[in-house]
Structure 1
Amino acid sequence: MPRPFKKKTLRIQLEDRLEGLTEQTEELRQQVADRAPVVRDQLIDMLPDKDQLRDLRDDLFDRLPENVQDRLPERVKPKRSKLKRIAVLGILAGAGAAAVAAVRGRVQSAPAPDPFPRPQAAPAPQAAPTPKPAPTHAAEPVAEPTDGTDDKSGGKKS
């Protein structure tokens, strides 16, 4: 006879959990079956398309060293040449630039400011003027300063 307050054994606890999980399994299977098409469509939408995969492959191939590129089989090497890729990118860039120019042409903007005037060339240096001839007669004495300062003492009175 089981005791009323006896603790459940580990085996009984695991059996109870298993029973609960088997009941949930049927519910989960039904939910997965209902959601499967939506999830499948989401996964397919997340996958990159063939062109993106080819571009990734080509980029990866270009990053490999040349000695490794030579060892790869021909079926792995990219089929498109770099020239075609560059031409396509150039066409796309040109079309984008043309579209931007067309949009800017439609928008009325303020007129462009006048260009900054160019600086004029510096005038050619002129010849130094010839000094006047020094007086030849010493009859006229040079006047001394009258303010009482001595030029040799830095302008201080003695």
Structure 2
Amino acid sequence: MSEKSPTRSRLHPAAVTALALAGVCIAGAAGWLVWLLAQPVDPNAEASQRLVQWQEVFERYRAANGSLPDMPFGGYCLGDGFPVGTGGTTNCRDYESTTYYTEEASAPLMDALASVAELPRGATTPVRGTVGPYALYDETGVRLLTAENGTCEAPAVEVWRDGGGLFVCQILLER
């Protein structure tokens, strides 16, 4: 180097240490984020959250129309994407048994609810042959139900269990 050319500057050892620590922190944060995203989704939280979403849609319909959608007593699938079961149709509830509701027969309810809000999509994970969410219209009101693999999560409450891990959870909408 000539006398007129600038000399190379070197980082102070403390600066090198600070940069190394910053790199370790960034790598650690990235690793933690990857680990967090790789954790399995709790199916109960998913199923319960789906019921809450449907509850909000029903309540939005009630606010806009003065009452819940008027449907005959019986069961209705909430959403779409249910598995093909008995009868070769897409079914909810006990989709491979005789106690199922068809996605197709639920279209009038879905159309009514879609008039006030975007509908939650998709079925939840089946549990021991039962899949939700689904609605049951009866004299009490509208029961929003789903299958969970374990105890129900609030605000849903347990209404039935089979002793083998299937819990049917409900949010009741009174008329």
TM-score, scaled relative to structure 2: 0.28
- Greater RCO between the two (CA within 8 Å, min separation 6)? 2
Q: Whose helix fraction is larger, Structure 1's or Structure 2's?
A: 1
Larger gyration radius, structure 1 or structure 2: 1
Q: Whose strand fraction is larger, Structure 1's or Structure 2's?
A: 2
